[in-house]
Structure 1
């Protein structure tokens, strides 16, 4: 189920700011779950867990800048978000 009421298009930076509410430069499963819920999407916990597992290449539990493109790809494919490189 795509995220409802998402903007027509996001930049990668806008997407990162939307998800990284702590501002520490890393995206946790909890932050992603909250962001998905803010958009009214169902199964936010399951989707957030799957997204972080797929994006987190170093398996530290967070998505950092080096892994952000993996998370963006997941959001495009599985959350129906339109995220452009710039």
Structure 2
């Protein structure tokens, strides 16, 4: 919890940047914006599935990241582990 409090300003800044970038992309590159939205939706779903599991948060994050990568690949979106992990963290 202390880590979250110490890093809250940076997290808010990153989330603001991502939201602003997404809005920019909706106007200038709708295809990429839709891919980013899909990855975010997959991450939200994966995180909600992990919430019911009775193991550590790091294991939940690992499983959710893996699920995002597998689902993105299944629908034809290339996503790196770092991107999937970031989406899960944001979710």
Asked if Structure 1 and Structure 2 have the same fold, meaning a TM-score greater than 0.5 normalized by the shorter chain, the answer is no
Structure number with the bigger relative contact order (C-alpha 8 A, sep ≥ 6) is 1
Higher strand share: 1
Task: Give 1 or 2: higher helix fraction.
Answer: 2
TM-score by length of 1: 0.34
Instruction: Flag the structure with larger Rg.
Output: 2
